[in-house]
Structures are given as C-alpha cells and as structure tokens.
C-alpha cells in the first residue's frame, strides 16, 4: 500500500492517469452511442422484414464470437487504417455493441402489442412518426437492458486495446506487468470498476427519466 501512495503522489502520474481515464471514457462510450443508432436501424429492419432477420442476427452472433484482440488486428486490414489507429478500437467496439443490441431492439419492437400499433395507425400516424413516437419509446426498457450490458462490456474491452497501444486505462496494466509494479495495476482495476459502476448508474437514471410509465404496474387507482 505504501507503493500505491508513492505511485499516486507524483503529479505527473496523476495527470497521466486522468488522461487515460478520459481516453477510456471516450473509447468505450463513443461506440455505445454509435451502436444505439445502428442497432435501432438494424433492429427495425429485422422487425420489419422477417427474411432479413435470420441472416442479420446470425451474422451478429458470429461477429460476437470473434476475439477482441483479433478484431483489433483485422480491422486495419479490412478498412486500411494504421495498425495503431485509435479508430480501430472504436470501430471494433461499435461492431460488438451493435451485434449485442440488434437482437433485443428487434425483439422489443416485435413485442409491442399489435392492438397498440393498430390503434396508432388508425389514429392517423404516418409510419416514421409511429416508429419514433410509439414503437421506439416502448422498446426503451429492453434497449437499456442491452445498453447496460454493452457499456460494461465495452469498458472492460477497451483495456484490451492497450495491447495494441491505443491508450485508456489498459495502459496501466501493460505498464504494471512490464515493470512488475503492482500499484498501476491496482489503480487501473479500481478506476475501471468505478467507471463501469458510474456509467451503469447513469444509464439506470436515464432510463427511469425516459420511461416514467414503466414499473407502474400494480399501482392501480
């Protein structure tokens, strides 16, 4: 523990850790935001066109089984980025998270009761407005369940990116292992855990703010 105090007492180290934390947030949450948009589009396609569903969700499953380190290495070959490009991690995690979220979004859209969508159509909603203001809001609880898994998964996977030198808190692990120094590893674990808990808490709060109607069951007049 003395080591830890000494390690953190250096202002330069603290500044570097702060920088890594910010990188980590950026690398894990940007893919989350992009994949929400992609998963909503793809989930809608699966929901709308049954024949597409099997193909797309099957692909998503396969993608999810590709090891992250392999994916980080394949992406430059596929899209021509530099091997150490930070975007490789963003793209890889976007692919994972989209693969993770597409199925729940599609399932949630399928689960919207037919009489509710029929009522919306009969009220005079046009299809896009109906999707954005009726079907999608009703899919939010399921979407957020997927997002919580995705955010935790991303925050842990970003650490792996350090192996190909993309920054983030994972650098603390690579440094610690290389120099056989425990303090940075402990700091890395604690910060990763705290970040995951914080993001999860924020997602729960956001879901509750977005869906005041959810969890009201049993509160009859």
Partner 1 sequence: MIEFRAVTKRFDDGTIAVNSLDLTVEAGTITVFVGPSGCGKTTSLRMVNRMIDPTSGTILVDGKDVLSVDPPTLRRGIGYVIQQAGLFPHRTVLDNVATVPLLSGWSKGKARTRAAELLELVGLPAELGKRYPVQLSGGQQQRVGVARALAADPPVLLMDEPFSAVDPVVREGLQDELLRLQAELDKTIVFVTHDIDEAVRIGEKVAVFREGGILAQYDKPSELLARPADDFVAHFVGKDRGYRSLSFVDASGVEIGTVPTVVVGEPVADAVSEWRLAVDERNHPRGWLAPGTTVDGRLAEDVLKPGGSLFEVGQSIRGAMDAALSSPSGLGVAVDPDGSVVGVVTATQVLAVIEGQRESRG
- If the CB atoms of residues 49 and 213 are measured against partner 1, the closer one turns out to be 213
Sign of the alpha-carbon torsion through 65, 30, 164, 197: negative
Considering the rule CB under 8 A, would residue 180 count as an interface residue with partner 1? no
- If the CB atoms of residues 85 and 135 are measured against partner 1, the closer one turns out to be 135
- If the CB atoms of residues 70 and 116 are measured against partner 1, the closer one turns out to be 116
What residues have CB less than 8 Å from 120, skipping those under 6 apart?
130, 134
Sign of the alpha-carbon torsion through 21, 25, 28, 30: negative
Paired tokens of 75: 């992406």
Give the angle 45-149-98 at the CA atoms, nearest 5°: 30
Q: Which stretch binds partner 1 (CB under 8 A): 29-37, 130-138, 177-185, 190-198?
A: 130-138
> CA–CA distance from 50 to each of 56, 61, 93, 106, 115 (Å)?
10, 17, 27, 10, 20
Q: Which of residues 84-113 bind partner 1 (CB under 8 A)?
A: 113
Q: Which of 33, 41, 55, 116 binds partner 1 (CB under 8 A)?
A: 116
How many residues interact with partner 1 (rule CB under 8 A)? 24
CB of 97 vs partner 1, minimal distance in Å = 25
Stretch 189-218: interaction string toward partner 1, x if CB under 8 A: ----------------------xxx--xx-
- If the CB atoms of residues 32 and 136 are measured against partner 1, the closer one turns out to be 136
- The candidate with the shortest Cα–Cα distance to 166, out of 83, 93, 67, is 83
Considering the rule CB under 8 A, would residue 76 count as an interface residue with partner 1? no
Q: Which of 8, 125, 148, 164 binds partner 1 (CB under 8 A)?
A: 125
CB-neighbour burial class of residue 207 (10 A; exposed 0-12, middle 13-18, buried 19+): middle
Question: What is the secondary structure of 64-125 as a DSSP string?
Answer: HHS-HHHHHHHHHHHH---TT-HHHHHHHHHHHHHHHHHHHHHHHHHTS-HHHHHHHHHHT-
Stretch 132-151: interaction string toward partner 1, x if CB under 8 A: --x--xx-------------
CB of 216 vs partner 1, minimal distance in Å = 5
- If the CB atoms of residues 62 and 219 are measured against partner 1, the closer one turns out to be 219
Contact set with partner 1 (CB under 8 A): 113, 115-116, 118-126, 129, 134, 137-138, 211-213, 216-217, 219-221
């Amino acid at each position: 523990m003395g080591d830890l105090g000494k390690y953190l007492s250096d202002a330069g180290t603290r500044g570097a850790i702060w920088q890594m934390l910010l990188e980590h947030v950026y690398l894990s949450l940007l893919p989350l935001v992009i994949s929400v948009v992609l998963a909503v589009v793809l989930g809608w396609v699966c929901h709308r066109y049954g024949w597409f569903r099997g193909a797309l969700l099957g692909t998503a499953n396969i993608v999810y089984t590709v090891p992250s380190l392999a994916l980080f290495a394949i992406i430059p070959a596929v899209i021509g980025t530099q091997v150490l490009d930070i975007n490789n991690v963003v793209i890889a995690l976007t692919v994972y998270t989209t693969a993770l979220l597409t199925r729940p979004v599609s399932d949630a859209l399928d689960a919207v009761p037919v009489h509710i969508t029929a009522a919306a159509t009969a009220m005079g909603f046009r299809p896009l407005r109906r999707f954005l203001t009726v079907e999608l809001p009703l899919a939010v609880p399921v979407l957020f369940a997927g997002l919580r898994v995705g955010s935790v998964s991303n925050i842990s996977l970003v650490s792996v990116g350090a192996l190909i030198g993309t920054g983030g808190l994972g650098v603390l692990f690579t440094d610690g292992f290389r120099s056989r120094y425990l303090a940075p590893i402990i700091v890395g674990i604690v910060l990763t855990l705290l970040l995951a808990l914080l993001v999860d808490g924020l997602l729960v709060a956001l879901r509750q703010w977005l869906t005041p109607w959810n969890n009201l069951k049993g509160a009859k007049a």
